[in-house]
Amino acid sequence: MLLVAAADNNAQGDVYARRLRIIASDEGCGFERLRPVCDDWNEDLQVQRKVISAGQRQEDEEVNEGMTAACVAGASR
């Protein structure tokens, strides 16, 4: 069995992960810690969301580049 802790990348996350590691050890369980790149997981998600959003805008621009209208407007009287 393996206990995986996704704790923030700061002092408070270190304390929490340490406690979980002790519990896992006491129970004869493996332990692994995941850390966000930023200080906390919410910051990582916000950065990821901005990157995805920017990438989507770029894709939309590339798709729309050089496109013509789907139908030609009729002549007006």
Question: Is residue 73 included in any domain, yes or no?
Answer: no
- Direct distance between the N- and C-terminal alpha carbons of the chain, in angstroms, rounded to an integer: 78
In a domain, 13, yes or no: yes
Judge whether 24 lies within some domain. yes
Which pLDDT value is given to residue 15? Answer: 97
Q: What is the pLDDT of residue 28?
A: 97
Domain of 21 in residue numbering reads as 1-44
| Residue 74 counted as domain residue | no
pLDDT in the model for residue 21? 98
pLDDT at 58 over 80: no
> Can you tell me whether residue 33 is helix, strand or coil?
strand
38 in a structural domain: yes
The answer to whether residue 5 sits within a structural domain is yes
CA distance 70 to 47: 36
pTM (predicted TM-score): 0.61
CB 36 within 8 A of CB 9: yes
Segment 42-68 shows an average pLDDT of 77
**Residue 60 covered by a domain:** no
Nearest CA to 21 out of 6, 31, 9, 13 is that of: 31
For the chain, how many structural domains are there in total? Answer: 1
pLDDT, mean over the chain: 84
- The answer to whether residue 51 sits within a structural domain is no
- Residue written as token pair 């920017």: 54
Please give the Cα distance from 70 to 5 (Å, whole number): 52
